[in-house]
Structure 1
């Protein structure tokens, strides 16, 4: 069990669907590429974190801006998270900071609607990565210079010696309710968060939500695991999203792409992260180390791990878009971990049969298919 400092201070955590829908080719995310799972479909989630005692609200990630064609060309439909917040009764001037897990377009969203009082919080190494001052002043930057105009940029240095589960940590509110964790590998400056959802001195043990951002992109990269093996029986209804149903878990074990026998199939993660070019991991070895640390947290019954693109969250957790007053703090009492933990099995192929159709095909603009290729040629993007 990972040791986490005690505290009776908590935050409310609310899940937001940013309404961004993405489909990517499997080989940049996982190894090996399996027949029937050549593409990955991604939803894109953000989280509203509220410290009621201090009267503070922050966002962890923002999804993609709805006018994604106005992104920086190197990054280059949906709602802005600002729309989701205001529709749910949260005024943008209540948001003290937007914490970016990292600088990619599907996490930075659109800062323009937020007032100058809303800061941007980033991880160690953000400035050193050559991202500033942002596009167009910096033609190769994936972030926009306008995001930083008239607002403060706070880079967490992780230099106070605090560690949690091997991650250098920063006590964001100073009361043990929210920790930011240095979790690089996917890109420089990548951070995760650990939010305390119930107190240490309550009737039950303290519980936490781990917000992983893009520490990895598929829960099958670290599940199953030795302390959370693939079960003989799955919760009824867990796999209802599959178009290719599974008759019994034994078919899962016999199709495991990285195990040679049934015993290994029960405890070995389904996929390895893609390690060779093209890969979404800037430093594979560091990314692998970050994921192993997260896996230890994931094996703790008091920690719920939420990746930014894990579709099962949409089916399982209260959604701010529909119920702004609800939060996910009672996830353990409501037995949500088991479903969240194995929901990724809805996406894996069995005997080469795809489990899902691609979430989206092509690029869409104003509700219509869009010739993005032709648009991209007009941008005069310099060759890599």
Structure 2
């Protein structure tokens, strides 16, 4: 059976064969615990972790001592937000974030509210962008953290991170960014951009699932959310996932080397798909800020079709209606609703996200398939 063309790279990416090759010895041959510092097995594992820490730090222009390995970006977001809230609650309990953040941030903020904290949810414009002025206006003397997603997972819009971080610091607050969809796809310099805490996940950049990191700028303190052996400089206890960490490190190394060429190639393929859909299917439009977005992603609304039937009818391609974490929900995308789309428009919007292994032939096939399916669904309608 022929597998569908995969165009859901924002949900997850396949492990790059070079990443898998780097990981394999650490499952069997080098299986030591990185915390076992009394023999060669432990020393070897510890050295591999140190190498990966350098690879992650180098990609983000960070210090290797700032990298805290986690189980993924969800844990990293929890550690950042809850960790700052608990550590700095003596200064204040107010947090600023976006209404269009990933659920890993939004639900963590809701938890903070249950603990007595206050959260301001900024509303972006119709393109999905916020302005530094919105952050300035929301700042209060008791604001301790501003958390803004680097690039949105559904529409790909890239926020003005440097400017927002500067505003946060001017107001005496720390700045956190969920950069899960940006790491490995955009050049990020934590020092130059003023980022205090940054969350990432390996499986979004051709690494394995179940491993990620929170990068914490030196001087920033957080309260650990996992207690135990005091691993990761006391910031996240638990036996280190050495094979996963090696995979994350290798994925970061590859991303740094290939990011520029990959971004250019995927941008051309994305534009080929997007322009083809808009030119061949009437009553379609792109959701989000078109110029200021990730190069590999497009989110397109197909009006006058039933969204659920559209997704089910596209059997030869793998796409999504939004975040993989909310795909089980029967509700329309809250991100698209905030942008001003109606329920029907949100239901009828599809996210196409391309990746390292996408080919020109796959894009042409996907374009033809989408055109045929939409035309068939619209037969007999007033369109």
**Greater C-alpha Rg:** 2
Q: What's the TM-score, normalizing by structure 2? A: 0.28
Q: What's the TM-score, normalizing by structure 1? A: 0.28
* More helix as a share of residues: 2
* More strand as a share of residues: 1
